[in-house]
């Protein structure tokens, strides 16, 4: 086995995901490890290294290669707020959207500080706006990232899934904490600052009208409704917010609750159950 392949094997073993003794590992499909030959392994290593090691600023005249076909990311996305001169700004200017998404995918499951950094740098290049100090866990998927505005110090837990839409809008306020395996329908979603989002909690932002009744429901019109979560609110583990839900500032939604369509939970309320019912206000003195 070549030196590169040996390094890859060590790297993968060090991360301990799905690696069978005597086998090799395709870093591009971590969920389905498969045996591949040494030549493929070298190629995988090069891809892996490209994903982890974001190159330093190129020397003058040493322009990194731009994919020969397709638009550059700065031609795809409108002007956005990232500081000029950063790695992300450079990537956004010089790489295609497809390339950035591929590189983000390659870094999805790299469980190291370098992997986390690669995800951050690449997602910053892809998003509409992106704050400082954002942490991104393993396997976080963001579809249509150009519609996302992510604030400072946001934490995105592992395997959180953000279902964006090409013409949607998703704002995640600064310092918000998103638990692992959360699901977000991000067609029209705003989370305020310091929102806590329990593991596995979900938001649905659209539903089919179901009319007329003789047409399959998934073929009837889709109605998109805004979902808003106020600053400092806390959404319990496995809770569900349905289209049009509004959660007031500082409110708590209980574990496993279902906030039904168009329901409004007042600021500082504690609501739980299915359907969610307000139990008390956090501002009431405890008896």
Ligand X SMILES: CC(C)(COP(=O)(O)OP(=O)(O)OC[C@H]1O[C@@H](n2cnc3c(N)ncnc32)[C@H](O)[C@@H]1OP(=O)(O)O)[C@@H](O)C(=O)NCCC(=O)NCCS
Diameter over CA atoms, the chain: 72
Asked whether position 173 contacts ligand X by CB under 6 A, the answer is no
Burial string for 146-164 (b: 16+ CB within 10 Å, else e) reads bbbbbbeebbbbbbbbbbb
- The yes or no reply on residue 180 touching ligand X (CB under 6 A) is no
- 152 neighbors 134 (Cβ within 8 angstroms): yes
Q: Give the closest residue to 225 by CA, choosing from 247, 202, 246, 206.
A: 206
Does 132 bind ligand X (CB under 6 A)? Our answer is no
Query: Is there binding between residue 100 and ligand X (CB under 6 A)?
Result: no
Least CB distance from residue 157 to ligand X, whole Å?
9
Interatomic CA distance for residues 57 and 63, integer angstroms? 9
Interface characters, 189-218, with ligand X (x: CB under 6 A):
-------x-x--------------------
Q: What are 21's two structure tokens?
A: 């003794």
Which residue from 254, 224, 268 is spatially nearest to 242, judged by alpha carbons? 224
CB of 251 to ligand X, least distance (A): 10
Told to check if 270 binds ligand X by CB under 6 A, we report: yes
Q: Does 154 bind ligand X (CB under 6 A)?
A: no
Paired sense of beta strands 277-281 and 269-272, if any: antiparallel
Q: How far is the CB of 237 from ligand X (least distance, A)?
A: 4
Out of 131, 157, 179, 244, which residue is the one contacting ligand X (CB under 6 A)? 179
Shortest distance, CB of residue 259 to ligand X, whole angstroms?
Answer: 12
Query: Is the bond leading into 95 cis (omega within 30 degrees of zero)?
Result: no
Does position 272 bind ligand X by CB under 6 A?
Answer: yes
Choose, by CB under 6 A, the member of 9, 33, 224, 237 that binds ligand X. Answer: 237
The residues binding ligand X (CB under 6 A) are: 179, 196, 198, 234, 236-237, 252, 254-257, 270, 272-273, 279
């Amino acid at each position: 086995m070549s030196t590169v392949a040996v390094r890859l094997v060590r790297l993968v073993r060090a991360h301990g995901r799905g690696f069978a003794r005597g086998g090799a590992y395709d870093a591009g499909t971590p969920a389905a490890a498969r045996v591949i030959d040494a030549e493929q392994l070298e190629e995988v290593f090069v891809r892996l290294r490209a994903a982890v090691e974001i190159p330093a600023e190129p020397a003058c005249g040493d322009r990194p290669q731009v994919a020969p076909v397709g638009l550059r990311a700065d031609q795809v996305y409108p002007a956005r707020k990232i500081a000029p001169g950063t790695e992300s700004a450079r990537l956004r200017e010089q790489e295609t959207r497809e390339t950035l998404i591929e590189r983000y995918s390659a870094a999805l499951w790299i469980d190291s500080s370098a992997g986390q950094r690669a995800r951050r740098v690449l997602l910053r290049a892809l998003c509409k706006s992106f704050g400082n100090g954002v942490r991104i866990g393993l396997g976080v998927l963001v579809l249509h990232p150009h519609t996302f505005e992510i604030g400072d110090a946001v934490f995105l837990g592992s395997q959180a899934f953000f279902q964006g839409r090409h013409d949607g809008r998703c704002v995640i306020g600064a310092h918000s904490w998103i638990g692992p395996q959360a699901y977000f329908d991000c067609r029209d979603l705003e989370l305020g600052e310091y929102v806590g989002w329990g593991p596995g909690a979900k938001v649905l932002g659209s539903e089919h009208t179901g009319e007329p009744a003789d047409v399959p429901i998934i073929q009837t019109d889709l109605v998109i409704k805004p979902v808003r979560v106020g600053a400092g609110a806390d959404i319990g583990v496995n809770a569900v917010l349905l289209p049009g839900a509004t959660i007031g500032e500082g409110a708590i939604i209980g574990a496993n609750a279902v906030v039904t369509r168009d329901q409004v939970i007042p600021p500082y309320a504690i609501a739980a159950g299915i359907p969610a019912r307000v139990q008390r206000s956090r501002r009431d003195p405890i008896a």
